[in-house]
Chain A
Amino acid sequence: MKNFKLATKMLLLSIVLMASVLVVAYVALDRLTLVNAQIQQLVNSTNAKATQAAEINIQFLASVRSQKNAVISSDDQESKEYATASEASLTQAQELTAQLKQLVSKDAIAGQVDAVDAVDKSLNNVKQINADVLDLALQNTNVKAKRLALSDLQRQTEILSARFSAWVEKTATSTEMNADRTAQWKALYTINNAVSAVQINAIKHNETSIADEMTIQEKTLADLQDTIQQGLAVASGGDAASQIEVRATLTDMQTTLTKVTGLSRLDTNNRSAAMSLVEAKVANDECVKQLAELDKLLKAEAKAGRDTSEAVYQSAVWWIVGVMLAGIILGGVIAYIVTQSVTRPVAEVRNLAQSMAGGDLRQRVQLKQTDEIGELSDATNSLADSLTKIVTEIQRVSEGLGGSAADLTGVSNQLLSQSETASLKSSSVASASEQLSSNISTMAAAAEEMSVNVASISSASEEMSVNVGTISSAAEQTSVNVGVVSNAVGEISNSFTDVLSDVREGSRIAGDASNMADSATATIQTLSQSGTEISKVTETIKMIALQTNLLALNATIEATSAGEAGKGFAVVAHEIKELANQSAKAAEDIARKIEGVQNDTRRAVQVIQSVSQIIKDINASSNRISQSVEKQTRAASMISQNVGEANRGVSEIARSIAEVAKAAGDMSRNVAEAARGATDVSRNVNEAAKAAGGISSDIHQVSAASQSTNRSASQVHDSAERLDQIGKELRKLVGKFKVRKDEASDE
C-alpha cells in the first residue's frame, strides 16, 4: 500500500468509496423493491378486494333500497322500475362476488374464501326472498284497493251524502215537527254515519294484514250496508224516486266494496312490506353480517399488509443506514490510512527541512516507500548529505585554519619573546658598550696623563743627561733630582698600574660585548628561523583560505541552484567566503610583516657583525696597549732599580756615571720608547674610543632594529590573533550546522 503512487492511492480510495456507494445503492434498491412489491400487493390485491367488497356492499344496499322503493311505491310502473333496478343491483352484486371470489382464491388467504362463499350464499338467499317480495310488491293490490276506496267509493259516498243532504234540506223546509220527522232525522244521521264508516272501514280493511280483522271489517261493512238499506226508507221520507237512485248507488258501492275487499284480501303490499321488513331483513342482515365479516377480513389483510410494509420499510431503513455506516467507516478507515501514508512522511520530511533550516543536519528521514514522497524524502536526505559534506569540509578546513592560526600564534609568541630577548640583549650590549666607552675614555685620560708624565720624564732625563757632566757641582741637585725621579717613577708606575687595570677592564668588557653580540646574533638567527616558519604557516593559511574560498564558491553555486530554498545558505556561504578572504588578507599581512622582520633581522645581524668586528679591533688595541704598558712597567722598574742604585751608591756615581750615562741613555731611549708606547696607547685608546663610539652607535642601530623587529613581531602577533579570531568565527559559523550523529543535540 505505502509503495503505491499517490494517484494509485487516490484511485484505490475512490474505488472503495464508489464501491460502498454502489453497495448502498444496491441495498437501497433491493429494499425499495421489497417495499414496492408490498405496496403493489396492497394496491393491486388488498385494495382491489376492498373496492370489490365495497362495491358489492353498495350494489347490495342499492338492491335493498330499490326493493324498499318497489315495495313502497304505489305506482305499478314505478314499482316495476324499482324492482328491475333491485334485481339488476343484486345480479351485479353477485357478479362482483364471483369476481371477488376469483381474486380471493388467487390470493388464498385463510377465511376469505369462506367469507366470500358465505356472502355469495346469503346474496342468493336475499335474491330469492327479494324475488318473492318484488313479486308481491308488483301486484300492488292494497294500493289498488285503496285507490278504489278513495275514488269510486268516495264518489259513491259523495253521491249518497249529496242525496242525504237534499233529504235533510227537504226535511228542514217543512216547519212541522213530528215523530216521523224525528225518525227521519235519526235515520238520516244513522245512514250518513254508516256511509262515512263504509269508506273508513274499507280503508281499515285494506290497511290491515290480519285475516281475522279483515273478516271483522267485512262483517262491519255488511252490517253498515244493511243499516243503510234499512234506514233508507225512513230517511227518504217517502221520496221513492230518490230511493231508487240511492239504491242504484248502493249497489255500485256494493260492487266496489266487493272489489276492494277482494283486492284487500290479497294484501300484497302489506305482505311484501312485511316480508321486506321481516324475512328480507333477516336475509339482508345475514348478508350485511357476511359482508361486514368479509370487510373485517379484508381490513385485517390491509392492516397486515400495512404492517408488513412498515416492517419492510423499517428493515430497508436499517439496511441502508447500516450499509451506509459500514461504507462510511470503511471509506473513513481507508481515507485515514491513505492520509496517514501521505501526511506522516510529508511531516517527517518537513521536520527534516525545519531542522536543516535550524542548522541541524544530522537528521534523516527513514522512509521505505517508493512513491513521490519517498523520492522527495530521498532527495531531501541527499540534500542534507551534500550539505553535511560541504559543512564537514568547511569545518575540517576551518579547524585546520584554527590549528594553523594557533601554530602561528605560538610561533609569533616565540618570535615576540625572542625579539624581546634580542632587544633586551642589545640594550645590555648598548650599556656594556657605553661602560666600555667610558672605561676607554678613562683609559685615554690615563694615557694622556701618562704621556704628559712620560714627557716630563723625557725632559727630566734630558736634563739629567745634560747635568750628568756636572755631577760634582750638582750632587745635591742630583739627590734632589733623584728624589724627583724616584717620585716621578713611582707616579709612572702607579699610572701604568692604573692603565693596565683599565686596559684589562676594557678587554673584559669588550669580551662581554663580544659574547653578547654573539648571543644577539644567535637570537636574531632564531628570529629569522621563526620568521621562515611563520612564512610556512602563512602559506598553509593562504592555501586553506583558498580552499575555503573555493568551498564557499561551490556552496554559493549549490545554494543558487537550490533557488529560493538556498538563499539562507547562500548568505552563510558568502560570510564564509568573506572570512576566507579576510584570512588570506591577514595571512598576506603577516607574510609582509615577517618579510619586514626578516629584513630588520638581516640588518641587525650585519650591524652586530660589524660591532663584533669593532670589538675585536678594540680587543687587539687593548692587547697592544697592555703589551706596551707591561713593557713600560718593566722599564719603570728598571728605572726604579737604577734610582735605588743611585741613591745607595753616590760614591759609585763616578764609577757608575758611565753606567748612569748609559742608563740615562737607556732611560732616554726607554722614555722615548715609553713616549712612543704612550703615544701608541693614546692612539690605540683613541682608536678604541672611536671604535667604542662606533659600537655604541651600531648598538643603538641594533637596538632600533630590535625595537622595529619587536614592533613587527607584535603586529604579527596581532594578525595571528585576528586570524585565530577569524578561525573561531568561522568555526562558530560552521558550528551552527550539526553534522555528526554523536554531537549533543543542545550544542
Chain B
Amino acid sequence: MSDTPKLFCTFRLEGHLFGVDILDVKEVTTETTTTRIAHAPEEVRGLVNIRGHIYLALDLRRLLGMPGTAITGETRLVLFKPTIGQAFGVFVDEISEIHTAMSDRIEAYSATDVLASKLRRVDLISAVCKLPDELLVVLNPRRFLHIVEERLEGNGE
C-alpha cells in the first residue's frame, strides 16, 4: 500500500455522499439538456452535446436503484475518461468537493454495509471511505455501462 492520498470527486444522491476516483473523471459540467434515445432503458437519460462531442448520459440514481428525480439547478453531469468507457457520463443530484483520503481510511466494500439495502447493484461499489463526519461510498464507474448493457440484453431475451 502506498502512502499517496487518494483523491475522490464526490457528489450527492438522495443526500448520501458518493464518489469516484478523480483520475477516472474527465470533466464535470452543468449541461443538462439531453436528447432522448428511443427505446432506451430508464437508466439512459439520453445524449448530451458537450462542445460538439456527443456523450451518453446515464441516470446514476436509476443505476443505483433509487427513484428518479427531475433536473434541478444543482444537477451536474460527471463525464468519465475514455479509459473508463466510450464517451459517457452520469447525472448526479449535486456535486460536492474533492475529498482527499489516506489509504488507511479506505476499506474495500462489504455487503453488510448500511447503505447496501438502498443499493440495487452491490458490485457498483468498490470501496467505502471513512470521512470525519460521514461515509463516502466509492463507486466503480467501469460497471456503469455494463449495467446498461446487461439491461439491454435482459430486454432482448
Residues of chain A having any CB pair with chain B under 8 Å: 546-547, 550, 553-554, 556-557, 560-561
Q: Mark B72-95, 1 if CB is under 8 A from A, else 0.
A: 000010000100000000000001
A560 in complex: contacting residue of B22, B28, B30, B95, CB < 8 Å:
B22
Let me know if B25 is at the binding interface, CB within 8 A.
yes
A107 and B19 alpha carbons, distance in the complex (Å): 100
Question: Does B22 contact A550, Cβ atoms closer than 8 Å?
Answer: no
Let me know if B14 is at the binding interface, CB within 8 A.
no
Q: How far is the CB of A580 from chain B (nearest CB, A)?
A: 12
Question: Does B9 contact A550, Cβ atoms closer than 8 Å?
Answer: no
A557 in complex: contacting residue of B22, B30, B76, CB < 8 Å:
B22
Which A residues touch B30, using CB under 8 A? 546-547, 550
Question: Does B95 contact A561, Cβ atoms closer than 8 Å?
Answer: no
Q: Mark B102-142, 1 if CB is under 8 A from A, else 0.
A: 00000000000000000000000000000000000000000
Q: Mark B35-78, 1 if CB is under 8 A from A, else 0.
A: 00000000000000000000000000000000000000000100
A547 and B30 alpha carbons, distance in the complex (Å): 8
Known contacts A556-B98, A557-B9, A560-B7: does B29 contact A550 (CB below 8 Å)?
A: yes
Which A residues touch B76, using CB under 8 A? 550
Question: Does A561 contact B23, Cβ atoms closer than 8 Å?
Answer: yes
Q: How far is the CB of A544 from chain B (nearest CB, A)?
A: 12
Q: Mark B1-23, 1 if CB is under 8 A from A, else 0.
A: 00000010100000000000011
A538 and B10 alpha carbons, distance in the complex (Å): 27
Which A residues touch B7, using CB under 8 A? 556, 560
Let me know if B27 is at the binding interface, CB within 8 A.
yes
Let me know if B143 is at the binding interface, CB within 8 A.
no
Residue of A nearest to B73 (CB): A546
Question: Does B28 contact A550, Cβ atoms closer than 8 Å?
Answer: yes
Question: Does B23 contact A553, Cβ atoms closer than 8 Å?
Answer: no
Q: How far is the CB of B33 from chain A (nearest CB, A)?
A: 16
Q: How far is the CB of A545 from chain B (nearest CB, A)?
A: 13
Which B residues touch A553, using CB under 8 A? 9, 28, 95, 98
Task: List the 3 shortest-distance A-B pairs measured between CB atoms, nearest first.
Answer: A560-B22, A557-B25, A554-B27
Which A residues touch B26, using CB under 8 A? 557
Can you show 10 pairs from A to B with CB atoms below 8 A apart?
A547-B30, A553-B28, A554-B27, A554-B28, A556-B22, A556-B98, A557-B25, A560-B7, A560-B22, A561-B23
A526 and B9 alpha carbons, distance in the complex (Å): 45
B27 in complex: contacting residue of A546, A547, A557, A560, CB < 8 Å:
A557
Q: How far is the CB of A196 from chain B (nearest CB, A)?
A: 136
Q: How far is the CB of B81 from chain A (nearest CB, A)?
A: 8
A547 and B22 alpha carbons, distance in the complex (Å): 19
Residue of A nearest to B74 (CB): A546
Which B residues touch A554, using CB under 8 A? 27-28
Question: Does B29 contact A560, Cβ atoms closer than 8 Å?
Answer: no
A561 and B95 alpha carbons, distance in the complex (Å): 19
Residue of A nearest to B81 (CB): A561
Excluding A550-B30, A556-B22, A557-B28, 6 further A-B contacts by CB distance (< 8 Å) are A550-B29, A553-B28, A557-B26, A557-B98, A560-B7, A561-B22
Which A residues touch B81, using CB under 8 A? 561
A368 and B29 alpha carbons, distance in the complex (Å): 35
Q: Which of A546, A547, A554, A557 has the most CB of B within 10 A?
A: A557
Residue of B nearest to A581 (CB): B97
Which B residues touch A560, using CB under 8 A? 7, 22-23
A546 and B98 alpha carbons, distance in the complex (Å): 15
Residue of A nearest to B29 (CB): A550
A546 and B25 alpha carbons, distance in the complex (Å): 19
A550 and B74 alpha carbons, distance in the complex (Å): 11
Question: Does B95 contact A550, Cβ atoms closer than 8 Å?
Answer: yes
A561 and B25 alpha carbons, distance in the complex (Å): 9
Which A residues touch B28, using CB under 8 A? 550, 553-554, 557
Residue of B nearest to A551 (CB): B28
Which B residues touch A556, using CB under 8 A? 7, 22, 98
A561 and B27 alpha carbons, distance in the complex (Å): 11
A547 and B27 alpha carbons, distance in the complex (Å): 13
A128 and B30 alpha carbons, distance in the complex (Å): 132
Residue of B nearest to A558 (CB): B27
A553 and B76 alpha carbons, distance in the complex (Å): 12
A554 and B98 alpha carbons, distance in the complex (Å): 10
A457 and B77 alpha carbons, distance in the complex (Å): 94
Q: How far is the CB of B134 from chain A (nearest CB, A)?
A: 19
Q: How far is the CB of B8 from chain A (nearest CB, A)?
A: 10
Which B residues touch A557, using CB under 8 A? 9, 22, 25-28, 98
Residue of B nearest to A563 (CB): B23
A560 and B21 alpha carbons, distance in the complex (Å): 10
A553 and B25 alpha carbons, distance in the complex (Å): 11
Q: How far is the CB of B60 from chain A (nearest CB, A)?
A: 17
A553 and B95 alpha carbons, distance in the complex (Å): 10
A422 and B63 alpha carbons, distance in the complex (Å): 58
Residue of A nearest to B25 (CB): A557
Q: How far is the CB of B78 from chain A (nearest CB, A)?
A: 10
Residue of B nearest to A553 (CB): B28
Q: How far is the CB of A546 from chain B (nearest CB, A)?
A: 8
Q: How far is the CB of A388 from chain B (nearest CB, A)?
A: 15
Residue of B nearest to A560 (CB): B22
A560 and B7 alpha carbons, distance in the complex (Å): 8
A553 and B27 alpha carbons, distance in the complex (Å): 8
Q: How far is the CB of B154 from chain A (nearest CB, A)?
A: 34
A146 and B98 alpha carbons, distance in the complex (Å): 142
Which B residues touch A550, using CB under 8 A? 28-30, 76, 95
A557 and B9 alpha carbons, distance in the complex (Å): 8
Which A residues touch B23, using CB under 8 A? 560-561
A553 and B26 alpha carbons, distance in the complex (Å): 11
Q: How far is the CB of B28 from chain A (nearest CB, A)?
A: 5
A557 and B27 alpha carbons, distance in the complex (Å): 7
Which B residues touch A561, using CB under 8 A? 22-23, 81
A557 and B103 alpha carbons, distance in the complex (Å): 19
Q: How far is the CB of A549 from chain B (nearest CB, A)?
A: 8
A128 and B37 alpha carbons, distance in the complex (Å): 132
Q: How far is the CB of B14 from chain A (nearest CB, A)?
A: 21
Q: How far is the CB of B54 from chain A (nearest CB, A)?
A: 19
Q: Which of A546, A553, A560 has the most CB of B within 10 A?
A: A553
A272 and B30 alpha carbons, distance in the complex (Å): 139
